[in-house]
Amino acid sequence: MPNANEDKSSALSQVQHRAVSELLRVSPVADDLARRFQAAGFSLSLVGGSVRDALLGRLGNDLDFTTDARPHDVLKIVRPWADALWEVGIAFGTVGCHKTGHVEGTDQTFQIEITTFRSESYDRTSRKPEVSYGDSIEEDLVRRDFTVNAMAVSLPEKRFIDPHGGLRDLAARVLRTPGTPEASFSDDPLRMMRAARFAAQLEFDVAPEVVSAMKAMAERIEIVSAERVRDELNKLVLSAHPRKGLTLLVDTGLAGHVLPELPALRLERDEHHRHKDVYEHTLTVLEQAMALEEDGPDLTLRLAALLHDIGKPRTRRFEKDGRVSFHHHEVVGAKLTKKRLTALKYSNDMVKDVSRLVELHLRFHGYGTGEWTDSAVRRYVRDAGPLLSRLHKLTRSDCTTRNRRKASALSRAYDGLEERIAQLQEQEELDAIRPDLDGNQIMKILDVPPGPVVGEAYKFLLELRLENGPMEHDRAVEALLAWWKAQEAGSPTEG
């Protein structure tokens, strides 16, 4: 039986074999670029995530390089070689470009970033890192976040550089920092969130000393800009194993600073355990929503799943009969979602869509398990709008009961709703429900100018359309005139 050392050696050899094959694949482009730097008197190395991914056998066409050349020298070397060039990150020492190369018999486009050796640090009040350039690759690597990202391959000779044991940590699937985690997180507190993100993306464990530092320094995350925090959170949520990263954020206290609504879901259980663990339920709903995705990771759906119950802590009530209620938690949750996502600088569309899904996630249960009327189906589709497909997925994911009979009944009931929607969509234009008369027709029939009356008439006809379905033109005109007569008489009209 192989001992532990033999297992580690075997893991290392497998990792190294994968790296060789991956690096050979991108050599035509990488080596060509490296020779140009060499001819200009500079060094070039593949670095960081690119080396890590090569060792994991998953190197894509996004390549990261580091060099002793200063940014203006990098521009001189790269400009005549690249197909396209951008200087967005040049203030931080990074030049980006696109390059198409003939690789493995096909033309492939590579997205390349070349960064001058550097070091970054934060002062106690700054939200932006201070950048200073270094002169050696060793100096550059020690400032990187984790040992698995602190490896390099010098090109074109392909000399492997690993001063901090990143290869062994990669084989052991563990995240450590090149220096002390306290120094690393002091330089850039966002690295604490990156630890959670990499744990979720790579399914790695985080070393105990790193976790301890995250707990001790969690409040330092507050000096990082909301945009950088949001971007890391997105990468974590869109990863293959978000539960692992989210759990780490909650356990270390980081979530309390960046997404406090999540740890707040850890409600104390009532003595009779009459409501489920909302926090664990939420993580399960997220995973079940992921399983329903059809075209890759869906950030809108995943955020809605993560936030759908955040209104529960504020609405929890212990009833006289011992039950626990959360009345209107979807309405409160939608407001909290809007507030949190706005604070994290999400786009207006993302804020609106996720908040709407949170608000609607209980709508299905409001109809019970009975037969859906045409009117109820129309209103459900109208209210969901373009979010209908996501609402289907979120509602189905929200069932986490272990009672198979109850779960099966809920699934059948939702199957029934989707069947009713499909039936009505064949008969009516459910995706764009409008009144049977438009604004111009309303003004002509009632002989009124544009104004509030037209809006009220439109709303009346929309309600008729939702309740009764499409009407013939003459019948719609008749209903409009009856409504108008009632308005003029000052009496209410029944729809």
Average pLDDT, the chain: 85
Where does a domain end: 152, 172, 192? 172
Whether residues 398 and 461 share a domain: the answer is no
Q: What pLDDT is stored for residue 1 in this prediction?
A: 45
Where does a domain end: 172, 206, 235? 172
Whether residues 392 and 377 share a domain: the answer is yes
As a whole number of angstroms, the distance between CA 254 and CA 127 comes to 17
Whether residues 60 and 93 share a domain: the answer is yes
More confident residue, 161 or 438: 161
Domain with 439, as residue range(s), is: 434-489
Most confident of 106-110, 152-156, 285-289: 285-289
Amino acid at 309: D
Whether residues 454 and 369 share a domain: the answer is no
Residue 458 included in any domain: yes
Residue 88 has pLDDT above 80, yes or no: yes
Whether residues 47 and 99 share a domain: the answer is yes
Whether residues 440 and 425 share a domain: the answer is no
Residue 190 included in any domain: no
Q: What pLDDT is stored for residue 62 in this prediction?
A: 92
Residue 187 included in any domain: no
Residue 196 included in any domain: no
Most confident of 2-6, 327-331, 428-432: 327-331
Whether residues 13 and 138 share a domain: the answer is yes
We report the CATH number of the domain holding residue 101 as: 3.30.460.10
Instruction: Give the β-pairing of 174-175 and 205-206.
Output: parallel
Residue 124 included in any domain: yes
Rg of the chain over CA atoms, in angstroms?
29
% of the chain surpassing 90 pLDDT = 49
pLDDT, tens digit, for every residue of 244-288?
Answer: 999 999 999 999 999 999 999 987 554 444 445 889 999 999 999
Residue 8 has pLDDT above 60, yes or no: no
pLDDT, tens digit, for every residue of 295-318?
Answer: 899 999 999 999 999 999 888 887
Cα separation of the two ends of the chain: 81
* Residue 430 binned pLDDT confidence (cut-offs 50, 70, 90): low
- Per the structure block, which two tokens stand in for 117? 């050796």
More confident residue, 435 or 146: 146
Residue 18 included in any domain: yes
CA distances from 449 to 130, 417, 474 (A): 62, 41, 22
Q: What pLDDT is stored for residue 10 in this prediction?
A: 57
Helix (H/G/I), strand (E/B), else coil: 189: coil
HEC profile of 115-155 = EECEEEECCCCCCCCEEEECCCHHHHHHCCCCHHHCCEEEE
- Number of domains into which the chain is organized: 3
Where does a domain end: 148, 172, 196? 172
Q: What pLDDT is stored for residue 208 in this prediction?
A: 97
**Best CA proximity match to 94, nearest among 121, 120, 64:** 64
Decide if 174 contacts 207 (C-beta within 8 A). Answer: yes
Whether residues 300 and 389 share a domain: the answer is yes
Residue 92 included in any domain: yes
Q: Distance from CA of residue 370 to its chain's centroid?
A: 35
Whether residues 468 and 319 share a domain: the answer is no
Decide if 244 contacts 203 (C-beta within 8 A). Answer: yes
As a whole number of angstroms, the distance between CA 87 and CA 98 comes to 12
Whether residues 69 and 135 share a domain: the answer is yes
Whether residues 447 and 413 share a domain: the answer is no
Whether residues 420 and 453 share a domain: the answer is no
Residue 2 has pLDDT above 70, yes or no: no
Residue 102 included in any domain: yes
The residue-averaged pLDDT of 235-242 equals 97
**Best CA proximity match to 126, nearest among 214, 195, 188:** 188
pLDDT, tens digit, for every residue of 363-414?
Answer: 887 555 556 777 778 878 888 888 999 999 999 898 887 777 877 877 777 7
The residue-averaged pLDDT of 49-56 equals 89
Q: What are phi and psi of 91, to 5 degrees?
A: -65, -25
